[in-house]
């Protein structure tokens, strides 16, 4: 990997509206919530902020609309120490946004409206070329078009960077993207969808990860309270237990994990060491109240 510890994140930026509710509503049901608050998010934005927390230089490549949500998203990246010089303003299109409803157990469901994020493409790849020459790890997710991800991944590989794909939300990946991915990270549900096999235990996850490692050099399956598993094309699979904490909210845990993992790898840590750091970072996040993060 590049000797320069820079992580570049290409992906989504959303303005999130968080709602606290006794439960998540069923079809046709209206519930009385107890509170709501805004938060800057999108998997790309969250992961860039997570990297920046570690002190590693972080660049965000994304798109926003010419609206209040977009201006708040840019201010958040500035405040968190993320270079957002490659975040493009798209006239006439709204910024991405989401609504997330949290139940009394801290679990949530969400709806996203992608907006400007769907306009990412070749223009952004061309603008990123200089940045990619000093990038150790490029981080991707599935909240922007597959073709844009594939083009950015190919450009990053040509520049000598490694490509980490967080394949969430799950969708069919093009062959063009698959062949440029070095590190695939999925949760249990996504692993089952990608592999076509059930993942209901650590043993299942190890088997699925080993199967996916025939197609990707490194595969990580996160399992929430059951920890994670890893399989590599040239290494023995292993699992790591979850760090015991008092759960407050699972929201953002996966993105925190991705950011910490990318940071560790960019700094030259071994895969196991980087996964241990990422595991610990996610545990700290889920035990921290949303308004203190």
Residues in the chain, total: 293
What local confidence, expressed as pLDDT, does residue 4 receive? 65
What local confidence, expressed as pLDDT, does residue 251 receive? 79
Q: Is the peptide bond before 169 cis (omega within 30 degrees of 0)?
A: yes
d(CA 262, CA 138): 8
- Collect the ranges in the chain with pLDDT lower than 50: 1-2
What local confidence, expressed as pLDDT, does residue 108 receive? 80
What local confidence, expressed as pLDDT, does residue 2 receive? 44
pTM over 0.75: yes
Sequence-ordered alpha helix ranges (H) in the chain: 43-53, 68-79, 122-132, 146-158, 175-178, 188-195, 202-212, 253-266, 271-286
Burial (CB < 10 A; 0-12, 13-18, 19+), residue 130, is: exposed
- Domains of the chain with CATH codes: 6-25+35-181+243-292 (3.40.1190.20)
What local confidence, expressed as pLDDT, does residue 1 receive? 43
d(CA 50, CA 110): 20
């Amino acid at each position: 990997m590049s000797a320069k510890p820079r992580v570049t994140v290409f992906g989504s930026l959303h303005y999130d509206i968080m709602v606290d509710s006794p439960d998540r509503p069923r079809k046709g049901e209206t519930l009385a919530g107890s509170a709501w608050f805004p938060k800057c998010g999108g998997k790309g934005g969250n992961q860039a902020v997570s990297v920046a927390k570690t002190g590693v230089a972080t660049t965000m490549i994304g798109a926003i609309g010419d609206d209040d949500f977009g201006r708040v998203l840019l201010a958040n990246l500035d405040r968190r120490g993320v270079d957002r010089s490659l975040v493009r303003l798209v006239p006439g299109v709204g910024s991405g946004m989401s609504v997330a409803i949290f139940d009394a157990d801290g679990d949530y469901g969400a709806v996203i409206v992608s907006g400007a994020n769907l306009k990412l493409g070749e223009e952004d790849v061309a603008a990123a070329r200089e940045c990619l020459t000093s990038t150790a790890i490029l981080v991707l997710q599935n909240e922007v078009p597959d073709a844009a991800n594939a083009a950015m991944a190919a450009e990053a590989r040509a520049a000598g960077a490694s490509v980490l794909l967080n394949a969430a939300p799950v969708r069919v990946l093009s062959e063009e993207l698959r062949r440029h991915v070095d590190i695939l990270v999925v949760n249990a549900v996504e692993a089952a969808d990608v592999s076509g096999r059930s993942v209901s235990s650590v043993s299942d996850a190890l088997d699925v990860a080993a199967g996916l490692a025939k197609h990707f050099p490194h595969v990580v399956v996160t399992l929430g309270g059951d920890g994670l598993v890893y399989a590599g094309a040239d290494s023995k699979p292993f699992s790591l237990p979850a760090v015991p904490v008092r759960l407050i909210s699972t929201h953002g845990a996966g993105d925190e994990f991705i950011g910490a993992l990318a940071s560790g790898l960019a700094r030259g840590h071994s895969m196991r060491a980087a996964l241990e750091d990422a595991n610990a970072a996610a545990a700290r996040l889920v035990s921290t109240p949303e308004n203190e993060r």
